Each structure stands twice: as structure tokens, then as C-alpha cells.
Structure 1
């Protein structure tokens, strides 16, 4: 397959639906990154057209996918993360995600009370990447949130509620949006 350039027109929206690595303009789908075209048929709908960076088909985060990521920084509105795994499959390239923390429509919790840099988090993809490979993620479900966090003393913290973890050494408590996951998911 020939390599596609950034901004190259791929097809009409009558023929395909836009996927990862693409954008819409005036009824046509364009490549938002340089790479190779990938088409996926999903049932009776139109095929989804995506652009991937390598010759081999690489796994890309998709809407609805559960991802494991590491928090790199936080600000009052969101946490920046690197997506490490899609499901249980490690990614070859690092993808950046902008995680929006939403518990439900009526309850907003500050980002610093939910995540800290270095935390390992389970999240769900709610929006596909753009030119910079930014994905919008959520931890709104009970099963999503922080799964591994370390205290200032360097010990792995233990969840004590849905919103707090505790250091086993110093017994200091810290706020986190704790994921309610089964122990077997934490063994890896």
C-alpha cells in the first residue's frame, strides 16, 4: 500500500466513516497523520477508514476501549496521561490522552483529588485521537480509576474507599478516584 501524506484526501463520507488518524472536511475524509490506510468493516454500516503510522497494522485506541495509562501531569481541569495498554495489549507507540474526570452529571470532583502524576489508571476512550494523538478518556464508571498509586514514602498504596488510598508504611491517606477492579487485574 502506498504511504499517505498528512492532509491527503482519502474518500467521501458516502463511502466510509472516519476513524483514527483522520478528519472530516466538506464531505470528505482526510488523513490527519502520515501513514498507511486501514479499512475495517463493522456489520452493515459503512467501513471505517483509519490511518496508522506503521506498515503493519498496529493496535489503536478506539471509542469504548478500556485503556491502562500512566498520569504524567495534572491541572485543575484534567490529567494528562500516556496510554500504555489497550485492553491487555501493550502499545508500540505512546499515545497521549487527556483524561476528563466525570463521576456523574451532578457531582464534580477536583482533578487533584482524583489523580497524581505516576498513578496507573484504567479509563475508557470516549473520543478518538487528533493530529497530536490526543484521546479524551473518562473514569466515570465504578470499575475505572486509579489501580496503582505510590505514596510519598514510595510504598504502593492500598485502597480504603472509592475516593481514598492509604500508605501501608506511614498510614497517610490521599484522595484518589479508586477503580473497583478484581484482584486478578492487579497482578500484571
Structure 2
């Protein structure tokens, strides 16, 4: 259903409205404990009428991408990223997939020291958790700042899913903190994602 309002261009993090009056649709989200709706992608802000059979009578606010693009990371979505840089308090990563779909744009994520694991947070050593080139499964916490998404690996099933050893071989996880090179037998520390149930 068309509405008479002027099309308005919005970018990620921009306020779209209040969740008391509107419902977040595609390209929009409401952070936990907040009643403000924010845009999660760049595009045109649009208000659509709720479905006639819907119990929720609030109009839906959504952001329609300005170009056909792949999936966009949103809070709570599980992503696959490649670690690009590891610093003392955080690791930077390029997001490659959101869920099962590959992204078409460049999205950067940051895993902060406090978001690596759920326990003994103060003992986390970033250099023993990740290395550049590691492929990690992580969850999007929030849009973070304008340049990067905040990511978390603080669940058992999140963390490094694929890593290359110094010898250039794909390493095998042997515990939730260690991976081993099948060629050299060398063991390296990682925040390993738990596989299976």
C-alpha cells in the first residue's frame, strides 16, 4: 500500500521512529531495552500498513535498499567473518556471510575482549583467541559505531570454525581452546566454536 509521505533516505543507525507507534519491519530493528526503531541498512524509509489479519495494528516502518544488495548483518544474526587484525583488546574481522548467504557489500565487525567468551572475561587474551585469517562464527550484538558491527563469540557454538596453521594447513579443533595442525602436530590456542550439538 502506497503512502503519501516523501521518500526519505536513511543510513544504518538512524532513528526511524518509536516502537510504541510503529513496528520494525525489514531493514529496521529495536535494540533490547529500548523503544526506538533504528535503520540497519541504507535505503528509503517506508511506512506500510499492517496486514489486515494482524493483531498488531501499528504501521510497519521498513527500509528498502537503494540497490539490490545481499543480506545485511542485523542484531542477533549469526555471521561468518574472516579475522583481519588482532589487537590487545579487540579483533577486527570482515563479515563474509549473514546466516547462509554471502554478503555483497563490505561490512566490518569488531570482537571486543569482553565479548569473546561468557566466563573469565578478564583473562581473555585476544592473541590466544584469534589470529588474522581465522574464520569465525559470531553473533551480531549491535551496529556498534558507524564503522563496524560489534560481534560476540561468547556462546559455545560461536568462535573459530576454521584456521590455518603456521605450516599453511587447515587445523583441527581438539578442545574449545585449542586447534592442532595435522601436518606438524603443533597446537595453537584459539576460541574454538563447538561443532555439532
Q: Under a length normalisation based on structure 1, what TM-score does the superposition of the two structures give?
A: 0.75
Question: Is the aligned partner of 1:63 residue 2:75?
Answer: yes
Q: 1:129 to 1:44 in 2, by over 3 A?
A: farther
Matched position secondary structure for 2:9? coil
Q: Gaps spanning 5+ residues in structure 2: where?
A: 1-5, 30-34
Q: How many residues align?
A: 178
CA distance in 2, matches of 1:43, 1:72: 46
Q: By how many angstroms is 1:120 displaced?
A: 0.4
Question: Is the aligned partner of 1:36 residue 2:44?
Answer: yes
Matched position secondary structure for 2:109? strand
CA distance in 1, matches of 2:145, 2:129: 25
1:78 aligned residue:
90
Q: Pairwise mapping of residues 79-158 of structure 1 onto structure 2 (< 5 A)?
A: 79-100=91-112, 101-107=115-121, 108-128=123-143, 130-132=145-147, 134-158=148-172
Q: By how many angstroms is 1:69 displaced?
A: 0.5
Q: Output the aligned Cα RMSD.
A: 3.7
Higher Cα Rg, which structure: 2
Q: By how many angstroms is 1:169 displaced?
A: 1.1
CA distance in 1, matches of 2:190, 2:130: 6
Q: By how many angstroms is 1:36 displaced?
A: 2.5
CA distance in 2, matches of 1:47, 1:128: 24
Question: Is the aligned partner of 1:181 residue 2:195?
Answer: yes
Q: 1:45 to 1:159 in 2, by over 3 A?
A: farther
| Runs of at least 4 residues off by over 4 Å | 17-22, 27-34, 38-43, 45-53
Matched position secondary structure for 1:112? helix
Q: Gaps spanning 5+ residues in structure 1: where?
A: 184-188
CA distance in 2, matches of 1:139, 1:89: 19
CA distance in 2, matches of 1:53, 1:123: 24
Is the contact between residue 16 and residue 45 of structure 2 (CA under 8 Å) also seen in structure 1?
no
Question: Is the aligned partner of 1:15 residue 2:21?
Answer: yes
